[in-house]
């Protein structure tokens, strides 16, 4: 996707390679040594990497709480079944309160539908879920719409994030 609000540009740099397993093991060992309680996978989209499930499993084996930031697009029923017990919390980006704006912001016509289908699946399977909305000049005007959309999801926590300024862009 080409989310205009995202401060991550790994995909634009072609960053779709798997993280080296030895490097990951060193990161986990260092985190454990420093008594860091959780590991958070983010990206780009970390669930696109083939090695993600293995990394999540290894982090859980070492006793870490595991959080995954995702756009939710890869969270099919089959994938969620594989992730059961490996993820303590999914943080889902939700940049818009309507389909038209979502399509424009992400560059993908199916994002809105797939995102809500994934959110429903997460709730059905009992995954701890947080919705992250980067507040922009445009979507801050839709605050009430966001509240209405999320009202039926009593167990979901909605977190508002400050937009990261990009070079040459005005800050809110």
Note the pLDDT tens digit of each residue in 87-125: 999 999 999 999 999 998 888 899 999 999 999 999 999
Least confident of 87-91, 133-137, 156-160: 133-137
Can you name the CATH fold of 24-162? TIM Barrel (3.20.20)
Percent of the chain scoring above 70 in pLDDT: 83
Note the pLDDT tens digit of each residue in 16-57: 556 788 999 999 999 999 999 999 998 778 888 878 899 999
Over 60: is that where the pLDDT of 6 sits?
Answer: no
- pTM assigned to the model: 0.85
Domain parsing of the chain, residue ranges: 24-162
What is the pLDDT at residue 10? 46
Can you read off the two tokens belonging to residue 48?
Answer: 């696109």
For the chain, where are the alpha helices, taking DSSP H only? 21-33, 52-61, 77-83, 99-106, 111-124, 143-150
CB atoms within 10 A of CB 21: 12
Name the β-bridge partners of 161: 134
């Amino acid at each position: 996707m080409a989310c205009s609000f995202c401060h991550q540009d790994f995909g634009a740099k072609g960053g779709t390679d798997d993280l080296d397993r030895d490097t990951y093991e060193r990161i986990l060992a260092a985190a454990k040594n420093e008594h860091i309680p959780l590991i958070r996978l983010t990206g780009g989209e970390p669930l696109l990497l083939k090695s993600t499930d293995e990394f999540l499993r290894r982090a859980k084996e070492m006793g870490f709480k595991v959080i995954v930031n995702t756009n939710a697009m890869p969270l099919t029923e089959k994938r969620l079944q594989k992730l059961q017990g490996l993820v303590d919390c999914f943080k889902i980006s939700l940049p818009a309160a309507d389909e038209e704006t979502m399509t424009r912001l992400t560059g993908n016509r199916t994002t809105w539908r797939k995102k809500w289908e994934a959110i429903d699946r997460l709730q059905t399977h009992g995954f701890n879920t947080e919705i992250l909305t980067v507040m922009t000049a445009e979507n801050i005007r839709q605050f009430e719409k966001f509240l209405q959309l999320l009202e039926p999801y009593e167990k979901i926590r909605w977190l508002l994030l400050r937009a990261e300024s990009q070079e040459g862009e005005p800050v809110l």
